[in-house]
Structure 1
């Protein structure tokens, strides 16, 4: 493969700025076609983003031989269907997070991947942002010593503004999202724990619908032990007052601590010797670094920036703490 020619299935809001424009900005990458069931919206997207082809049927896009990679940007309920079809066509796949509705579906995707010649990357894009690459280096360099434990807190009011705006709030439809705001936002934190600190060994959790604002669990409480012995605690609540809003990841080490916001842009390092705040500016197309890494992987120039197995482990962890 000399170039990656993309087709997007599901050119909705997430692809307008966060991801879509990046495909034409990266060397060796070109956006050839988009698909959306609404013909007018598909045509409009293609015109505005200068995409040569548009479809209302995903099968027609998949049957286009000039396309060798598929970006699945639909809600999770259709990830499995489109991933299986793309892999059967031996087309490389970049699939939005969460990887699927649950770990059972994620495992089906992995099984299909094993019988395909195609590659697959999960769009846990924060891994490739400079902020989190710097965070990983801080941990590797033992800036706060040996890591002891991690505390995750994401507290939001019922109509959180962290999520992208969509015409239909599918995230509160369990059959489409897999379980609510937790399933849309927690993958960011849980994947970063995996990426920064390693795989989990044990986990336990509780989930409940307290406010009854939507027919989904609006609070999830999880306890996680990593294989290396690091202890993690996570609290996700989407039912608090606006004065209680919090987005914080705190990593405690033997000689200090690091505090940051997963959806923010700065890292605070606090040790007995110094206090430092590092500030970052995220790219306009925030998925650009991850898509660039994915293109290089598809072209055989680097390792997979986020494998299907890693996507599965995040799904398994989510299933465990919400049962």
Structure 2
């Protein structure tokens, strides 16, 4: 596979800036077709982004002979169905996070990749961004000594500017999203913890619905003990007061602390009471570094940047925190 010719299933808001334009900016990559169930919206997207083909049926896009790789950017409800269909057609898949509605659906996708012998990558794209790679290098260099524990707080009001906009608020419909805003945002955070600290020894959590007007839990706590002894404590609340809005992860070591925002642009390193700030410029297309790695993987030039097996671990953590595996 020399040139990766992409077809997008689900050309909605996430593909407008975050991912879609990057497919034509990465070497050996070209966006040739898009699909959306609303044919008029699919055509509009294609014409605005200079994409030559558009479809209103996913099967038609998957079976287009010019398309040799599929990017699935629908809500999580359709991830399992479309991923397995594309893999069965022999076309490698790059699928958005969360990987699926739940761990069982994610396992089915991973099994299909093995069954058909076709490549599958999950879009935990923050692990490819410069800010988070810098944190990984700081940890590898033992900048803050031996890591003791991690404290993560994600406190957001209902009208949060972090949460992506969409025409319909499907993120709070558990039948479509898997479980509310926690399932939309936590995959980024938990994947980074796995990326930094490795295998999990044990985990548990609690979930509760504090806003009676919403159909999903808006308060989640999660606890992880990693095999290397690092302890993680996470708190997510999506009905917090506006003035308490927080997006902060703090990694405590024997010599100091690394603080950063998962959805921001800064790192702070505190050693012996002295703090150094490292700032990063926003990326024009947040998924472009990951897409570069996916293209290299599909071309046989590098390893899988985030395998189904890795992403499945994140899904199992979320299921555990919200008691879906009980």
1:181-260 map, 5 Å: 181-260=181-260
1:22-101 map, 5 Å: 22-101=22-101
TM-score, with length taken from structure 1: 0.99
Alignment partners' CA distance in 2, 1:280 and 1:157: 26
Alignment partners' CA distance in 2, 1:8 and 1:199: 32
Alignment partners' CA distance in 2, 1:282 and 1:107: 34
1:213 Cα deviation after fit: 3.0
Q: What secondary structure does 1:144 align onto?
A: coil
1:114 Cα deviation after fit: 0.6
Alignment partners' CA distance in 1, 2:196 and 2:292: 20
Q: What secondary structure does 1:162 align onto?
A: coil
Query: For structure 1, which segment, 270-279 or 186-195, has the greater mean C-alpha deviation from structure 2 after superposition?
Result: 270-279
Q: What secondary structure does 1:296 align onto?
A: helix
In structure 2, the residue matched to 1:19 is 19
- The answer to whether 1:294 aligns with 2:294 is yes
Q: What secondary structure does 2:193 align onto?
A: helix
In structure 1, the residue matched to 2:269 is 269
Query: For structure 1, which segment, 54-63 or 199-208, has the greater mean C-alpha deviation from structure 2 after superposition?
Result: 199-208
> Quick check: 1:88–1:116 contact (8 Å CA) kept in 2?
yes
TM-score, with length taken from structure 2: 0.98
1:117 Cα deviation after fit: 2.9
1:53 Cα deviation after fit: 0.3
In structure 1, the residue matched to 2:126 is 126
Q: How many residues align structurally?
A: 323
In structure 1, the residue matched to 2:151 is 151
> Quick check: 1:158–1:213 contact (8 Å CA) kept in 2?
no
Q: What secondary structure does 2:191 align onto?
A: helix
Q: What secondary structure does 1:115 align onto?
A: helix
In structure 2, the residue matched to 1:177 is 177
Q: Which runs of 4+ in 1 moved over 2 A?
A: none
1:284 Cα deviation after fit: 0.7
Q: What secondary structure does 2:249 align onto?
A: strand
- The answer to whether 1:164 aligns with 2:164 is yes
Alignment partners' CA distance in 1, 2:145 and 2:299: 38
In structure 2, the residue matched to 1:317 is 317
Alignment partners' CA distance in 2, 1:113 and 1:159: 38
Alignment partners' CA distance in 1, 2:277 and 2:116: 46
Alignment partners' CA distance in 1, 2:224 and 2:249: 14
Alignment partners' CA distance in 1, 2:304 and 2:221: 31
Q: What secondary structure does 1:196 align onto?
A: helix
1:267 Cα deviation after fit: 0.1
Alignment root-mean-square deviation, CA: 0.8
Alignment partners' CA distance in 2, 1:82 and 1:159: 31
> Quick check: 1:247–1:261 contact (8 Å CA) kept in 2?
yes
1:159 Cα deviation after fit: 2.5
Q: What secondary structure does 1:47 align onto?
A: helix
> Quick check: 1:100–1:106 contact (8 Å CA) kept in 2?
yes
Alignment partners' CA distance in 1, 2:19 and 2:101: 21
